[in-house]
Amino acid sequence: MAIKDLVVEQLKRVKGPDLTGNIVDLGLVSEIVAADGKVFFSITVPSDRAEELEPLRIAAEKAAMSVEGVQKAGVVLTAAKQGGGPSSGAARPSPQPAPKPQGGPPKPAGIPGIGAIIAVASGKGGVGKSTTAVNLALALHGLGLKVGILDADIYGPSMPRLLHITGRPQTVDGRTLKPMENYGLKVMSMGFLVEEDTPMIWRGPMVMSALNQMLKEVEWGELDVLVVDMPPGTGDAQLTMAQNVPLAGAVIVSTPQDLALIDARKGMSMFRKVEVPVLGIVENMSYFICPDCGSRHDIFSHGGAEKEAERLGVPFLGAIPLAMDIRETSDSGAPIVVSDPDSPHAEVYRAIAKTVWEGATASKQEAPSIVFD
């Protein structure tokens, strides 16, 4: 039997959301795509039960992984369409700009030598935010800009592996750190300061202190732009960045399915609330081209981020496919923009970088002060 058929047989052992039937016979499993020892599929569930049904997703992932020859399983929950959704024809109000704060604390100054700071964020993890951030930074460097990248994901730093950098940063005066470098980028990450398998069990104040140090106690030198790879969500790290530096804007990364877009929408709302311009949305893992037959598969749906960008009145920056080349080059520490610059995937990142830079220079502003309603 083919791997896909074997996976289906195992998924028939996974009971449905209400412990009746199984997820295959209930029609909840999308088309299964298998390539190079990896399988990808989604499970349709009611959107209001997504968090409750996370164990179902984990069970399906384990079932797929039990098949001989499957090395990795990518399983996501996607929301069932309900009446009144985008296709119902119901009128939607136009997005209103967030009210400008009145008064507030003094606005902090920027970081000397850095022209613009761009945050790359996502509402949830697992959408390829760090891969997007590093390829965006490399594409900006390819435009002739002096670029740095700050790995602000304290709990899950990725830049040491993505940029194939090892070792510890040196200090200038016993306090100020010198950033690490590769591919023309200046880089700072918590991953340079702790071992890769060391868990960061820190509360909010410690996270905020570490971010401030990596921003202001690093000898960044003269940079046209600093790209900040934010942790997923809308917590302390995002608020620290918005309060302490003048962000030129934020790039939101999402996958196409409805549940990921719900979280992406929260991220956009947060940045708008603190008056940080949203430079646009990137739809990652937008589609999959089978390397064997050349056919296209919309594993996680398609076009959801573009529709969301249109609805919210922000730019749609581009669609990046779910591609083995992007994954393999990222894992090897040679992101596709530098390892295969003539590839169509690298061209997509360069187009995104050009649009982001144009938006950042147009919307550059003073740092916001945060007002809590």
- Show the 3-state SS of the chain: CCHHHHHHHHHCCCECCCCCCECCCCCCECCCEEECCEEEEEEEECHHHCCCCHHHHHHHHHHHHCCCCCCEEEEEEEECCCCCCHHHCCCCCCCCCCCCCCCCCCCCCCCCCEEEEEEEECCCCCCCHHHHHHHHHHHHHHCCCCEEEEECCCCCCCHHHHCCCCCCCCECCCCCECCEEECCEEEEEHHHCCCCCCCCCCCHHHHHHHHHHHHHCECCCCEEEEEEECCCCCCHHHHHHHHHCCEEEEEEEECCCHHHHHHHHHHHHHHHHCCCCEEEEEECCCCEECCCCCCEECECECCHHHHHHHHHCCCEEEECCCCHHHHHHHHCCCCHHHHCCCCHHHHHHHHHHHHHHHHHHHHCCCCCCCCCC
**114-363 shares the fold of 3-79:** no
pLDDT along the chain (373 residues), means of 10: 87 88 89 76 78 86 91 74 38 37 47 90 82 96 95 85 91 83 94 72 66 85 94 70 80 78 74 83 83 74 77 87 89 94 93 94 55 40
3-79 fold: GMP Synthetase; Chain A, domain 3 (3.30.300)
Tell me the per-residue pLDDT of 100-115, one tens digit each, with 9 for 90 and over: 434 444 444 578 899 9
State the pLDDT at residue 196: 67
**Domain regions of the chain by residue span:** 3-79, 114-363
State the pLDDT at residue 13: 93
Superfamily name and number for 114-363: P-loop containing nucleotide triphosphate hydrolases (3.40.50.300)
